[in-house]
């Protein structure tokens, strides 16, 4: 079952993860720009991170036969930090035009402060200006209230719901989002957030229309193979192949293809990268023979 | 749209295509607005303008460029800069340093047809510092940028030498480095021969144009290498040796060409040997 993983922070993962993802038929990974586990103190740290997302990480994925795309944003956690927030917003327009960028994200709310709202709305405007869909991080604390506030802000901004992915949802929030016309995202974690069994129950109740699932694997305890594991659970539960394929392949493609920057036909095949190629003069080979690695 | 010099008219043909309205909209901006739009326009160029190849040559004001090496996005990037001129060095350097690999390639190609400036110098420093084949090709091949920079005083001789050495290290062909063969230097020859020695010791291929360039400014060891090349088992090395013999132009070496000539099976090598013999 081919898989488009629509939320995974490969920046934080090792090469073994890329190998395991490729073996599990994950053909595309989407890496949203987020925080790095601790606050950054200068805009330069963001710029270097953004350059990595459109550069080295894309190359690294290609070396394992996986397409890498990303979304760019000032994340809501660091939106509260006046040392960097305005300067990051200023550099975003050029990064939103880079190859491989298919959306604005993760934006949204975390602590749900007025400053977060200000930078959230500024980035909603950027998404409109650049014709990109938005990937929204919803709060881990006071989640339902956060969902409601985000929905109110987007309604006031008249942002098209078809271009909105409200991520990190659960059984409590899905009822809020079904009638909006947006895409609902669910992050499957080993111990927290949604788990595989709860997600199977959500699919049983709500179907797969306008739903995407992801591992949100990052620097913490998380599992990049959560979506392949969910696929197996859904098939064992009796869902048809076509239903599962829509959930883990067609839905995320349909959403991010709205950027106009996804070559959908090309996603079916591995990227053509050779291990003889370099990125900025660098390889992943560490001296190994490219024909034997 | 601001008129472009006649010599660059070929670049305008690159505008045709489905994204032409988007491109023309940016080219029609007044220079101030065009400059402001550059940081957002450049990242989208390869995606919007595409990478289809061009054809022909461009020559004007001492600039010579083989457009067969250019892509559509290179041409559109050059036209965008022209529309935004005067673009100051700080803006150009910012575009380069904040650009991805593709944007930098476009800027380097544009630099080959634009006037020399401090930003050109910085670009050349960057390609020397990094190790990106596409960038070396864009700056060093298919135009006379390196020689223009040397002759124009932008590149000191030692920087020029190190750039040519880096091109040799990456096995780029001398025939596509416009006029570089006409700017030999003894320090460059020494570095190229040292590189050849290192490569031979490691059992690796030697840059095929080493002798062609070394013969223009021979140092100790050059003659022996040229004469040895005449008997090499690889025909491309023999050809380089025969051409180097012609470049050396020394009558005292003619006998070696005459000795090799009857045994040489390759017509192109024979032709060069005959030119060497004719020196007598």
CA-nearest of A204, A153, A148 to A172 is: A148
**What pLDDT, in 10s, does the model give residues B156-209?**
999 999 999 999 999 999 999 999 999 999 999 999 999 999 999 999 999 999
**Is residue A177 a part of any domain in this protein?**
yes
- With bands split at pLDDT 50, 70 and 90, how would you rate the model's confidence at B2? confident
Pick from A73, A67, A130, A129: nearest CA to A100: A67
Structural domain of residue A78, as residue ranges?
A: 3-267
What is the share, in percent, of chain A residues with pLDDT greater than 70?
A: 97
| Helix, strand, coil share (%) of chain A residues, nearest 5 | 45, 15, 40
Query: DSSP string spanning B40-65?
Result: HHHHHHHHHH---B--SEEEETTEEE
Tell me how close the Cα of B129 comes to any Cα of chain A, in angstroms. Answer: 10
Nearest-CB residue to B43 (from A97, A280, A281)? A97
Mutation choice for A interface testing from B46, B101, B104, B130 by most A CBs within 10 A: B101
Residues A225, A231: Cα–Cα separation, whole Å: 10
How high is the mean pLDDT of chain B? 95
pLDDT at B8: 77
- Min mean pLDDT across A61-65, A225-229, A276-280 is at A276-280
Strand partners, A3: A26
Residue A293: band (very low, low, confident or very high) from pLDDT cuts 50, 70, 90: low
Is B40 in contact with A93 (Cβ distance < 8 A)?
yes
Q: What's the Rg (C-alpha) of chain B?
A: 22
Contacts of A56 in chain B (CB under 8 A): none
Chain B: residue whose CA lies nearest to A277: B133
ipTM above 0.85, yes or no: no
CB nearest B39 (choices: A51, A94, A99): A94
Place of tokens 């997302």: A53
Number of domains comprising chain A = 1
The pLDDT of residue A97 is: 97
Place of tokens 């025969």: B242
| Span A147-163, average pLDDT | 96
- Decide which of A140 and A221 is more confident: A221
Chain B residues 11-40 within an 8 A CB cutoff of chain A: 39-40
Burial of A115 from C-beta contacts in 10 A (0-12 / 13-18 / 19+): middle
Whether A198 is covered by a domain: the verdict is: yes
Q: Do B47 and A47 touch (CB under 8 A)?
A: no
Contact call for A261 and B43, based on CB within 8 A: no
Residue A187: strand, helix, or coil: strand
Neighbours of A200 (CB within 10 A): 16
Distance CA B66, CA B233 (A): 33
Question: A interface toward B at CB cutoff 8 Å?
Answer: 47, 51, 54-55, 91, 93-95, 97-99, 261, 278-281
Q: pLDDT value at position A136?
A: 97
Give the count of Cβ contacts less than 8 A between chain A and B: 37
Q: Residue A271 has what pLDDT?
A: 84
**3-state secondary structure at position A211:** strand
Task: Please indicate, yes or no, if residue A143 is contained in any of the structural domains.
Answer: yes
Q: Is residue A117 part of a domain?
A: yes
What residue of B is the nearest CA neighbor of A51? B100
Q: Nearest CB to A280: which of B41, B44, B101?
A: B101
Task: pLDDT band for A287, please (50, 70, 90 cuts).
Answer: low
- Quick check: B247 pLDDT over 90? yes
pLDDT for B10 equals 84
CA–CA distance, B16 with B1 (Å, rounded to integer): 15
* Tokens matching residue B202: 């490691």
Residue A239 lies in a domain: yes
Q: Give the model's pLDDT for residue A193.
A: 75
Q: Contacts of residue A97 in chain B, CB cutoff 8 Å?
A: 40-41, 43-44
Q: How far is B195 from chain A (nearest CA, A)?
A: 20
Cα A215 from chain centre: 9
Instruction: List the CATH number of the domain containing A152.
Output: 3.20.20.140
**DSSP 8-state symbol, A257:** G
Q: Is A168 a domain residue?
A: yes
What tokens does A97 get?
Answer: 């035009």
Query: Given this model, what pLDDT does residue A269 score?
Result: 87
C-alpha B7/C-alpha B61 separation (Å) is: 9
Q: Which pTM value belongs to this model?
A: 0.87
Query: Does A286 have pLDDT greater than 80?
Result: no
A13 Cβ partners below 8 Å, 6+ apart? A217, A224
- Per the rule left: phi > 0, alpha: psi between -120 and 50, beta: everything else, B111 is alpha
Selecting from A55, A99, A279 the residue whose C-beta is nearest the C-beta of B46 gives A99
Residue A290 lies in a domain: no
Is residue A273 domain-resident? Answer: no
Q: pLDDT digits over B66-114, tens only?
A: 999 999 999 999 999 999 999 999 999 999 999 999 999 999 999 999 9
Query: What phi and psi values does residue B221 have, to the nearest 5 degrees?
Result: 100, -20
Determine whether the interchain pair A93/B132 forms a contact, defined as Cβ–Cβ distance below 8 Å. Answer: no
In this structure, chain B runs to a length of: 280
**Residue-wise pLDDT tens digits, A79-132:** 999 999 999 999 999 999 999 999 999 999 999 999 999 999 999 999 999 999
Of B47, B98, B131, Cβ closest to residue A99: B47
């Amino acid at each position: 079952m081919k898989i488009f993983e629509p939320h995974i922070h490969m920046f934080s993962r090792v090469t073994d993860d890329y190998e395991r993802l490729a073996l599990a038929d994950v053909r595309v990974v989407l890496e949203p720009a987020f925080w790095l586990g601790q606050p950054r103190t200068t805009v330069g740290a963001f710029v270097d991170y953004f350059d990595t997302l459109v550069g080295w990480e894309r190359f690294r994925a290609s070396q394992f036969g996986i397409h890498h795309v990303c979304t760019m944003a000032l994340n809501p956690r660091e939106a509260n930090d006046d040392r960097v927030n305005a300067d990051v917003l200023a550099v975003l327009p050029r990064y939103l035009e880079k190859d491989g960028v298919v959306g604005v994200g993760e934006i949204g709310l975390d602590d749900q402060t007025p400053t977060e709202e200000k930078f959230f709305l500024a980035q909603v405007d950027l998404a409109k200006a650049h014709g990109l869909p938005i990937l929204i991080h919803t709060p881990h604390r006071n989640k339902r209230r956060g969902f409601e506030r985000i929905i109110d802000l987007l309604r006031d901004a008249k942002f098209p719901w078809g271009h909105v992915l409200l991520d990190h949802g659960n059984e409590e929030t899905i009822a809020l989002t079904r009638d909006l016309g947006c895409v609902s995202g669910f992050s499957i974690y080993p111990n927290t957030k949604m788990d595989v069994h709860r997600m199977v129950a959500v699919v049983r109740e709500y179907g797969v229309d306008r739903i995407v699932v992801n591992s949100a694997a990052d620097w913490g305890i998380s599992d990049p193979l959560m979506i392949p594991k969910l696929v197996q659970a859904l098939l064992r539960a009796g869902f048809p192949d076509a239903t599962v394929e829509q959930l883990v392949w067609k839905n995320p493609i349909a959403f991010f293809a709205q950027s106009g920057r996804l070559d959908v036909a090309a996603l079916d095949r591995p990227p053509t990268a050779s291990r003889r190629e370099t990125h900025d003069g660098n390889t992943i080979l560490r001296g190994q023979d490219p024909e034997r690695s | 749209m601001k008129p472009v010099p006649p010599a660059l008219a070929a670049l305008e043909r690159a505008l045709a295509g489905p994204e032409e309205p988007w491109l023309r909209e940016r080219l029609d901006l007044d220079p101030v607005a065009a400059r402001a739009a550059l940081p957002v326009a450049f990242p989208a160029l390869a995606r919007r303008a595409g990478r289809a190849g061009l054809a022909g040559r461009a020559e004007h004001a001492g600039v010579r460029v083989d457009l067969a090496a250019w892509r559509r996005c290179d041409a559109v990037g050059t036209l965008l800069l022209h529309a935004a001129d005067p673009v100051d060095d700080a803006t150009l350097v910012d575009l380069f340093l904040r650009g991805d690999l593709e944007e930098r390639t476009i800027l380097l190609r544009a630099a080959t047809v634009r006037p020399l400036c401090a930003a050109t110098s910085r670009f050349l420093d960057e390609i020397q510092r990094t190790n990106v084949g596409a960038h070396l090709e864009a700056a060093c091949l298919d135009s006379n940028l390196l020689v223009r920079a040397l002759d124009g005083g932008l590149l000191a001789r030692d920087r020029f030498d190190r750039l040519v050495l880096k091109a040799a290290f990456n096995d780029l062909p001398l025939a596509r480095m416009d006029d570089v063969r006409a700017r030999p230097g003894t320090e460059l020859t020494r570095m190229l021969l040292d590189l050849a020695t290192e490569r031979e010791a490691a059992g690796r291929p030697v840059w095929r144009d080493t002798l062609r360039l070394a013969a223009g400014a021979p140092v100790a060891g050059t003659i022996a290498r040229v004469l040895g090349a005449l008997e090499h088992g690889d025909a491309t090395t023999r050809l380089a040796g025969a051409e180097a013999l012609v470049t050396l132009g020394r009558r005292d070496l003619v006998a070696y060409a005459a000795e090799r000539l009857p045994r040489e099976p390759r017509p192109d090598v024979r032709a060069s040997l005959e030119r060497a013999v004719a020196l007598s």
